[in-house]
Copies of this chain bind each other. A is one copy, B any other.
Amino acid sequence: MADTWLSTLLTSTPEEGYALAIKLARTGVKMTQPDAAVRERLRAGYAENADSLMGASQVIAINFQTVAAANGYWRSL
């Protein structure tokens, strides 16, 4: 990840903000396990476990709080 991956928290819409929250959640995983092959292998079991999926949704939700606050909740749209 030599290139910039997070230049701003500002997005045009809530939906783009949610996509950024997903990116933030995934980046936290990548930073802890940089090996893409390992992550891919783990993903198989992960995506078949309901609690794991809800756990992912939770991390996305926490990041979405940050992104939404950064954008003033897109109130002026």
Name A's B-contacting residues (CB within 8 A).
Answer: 4-10, 13-15, 18, 22, 24-29, 31-33, 38-39, 42-43, 45-66, 68-70, 73-75, 77
Contact = CB atoms under 8 A, between A and B. Distances in A.
Q: Dominant SS at the A interface?
A: helix
Contact of A6 (B5, B6, B18): B18
A46 B51 contact: yes
B28 A61 contact: yes
A57 B74 contact: no
A45 B42 CA distance: 12
A32 B8 contact: no
Contacts of A69: 68-69, 73
A9 B31 CA distance: 20
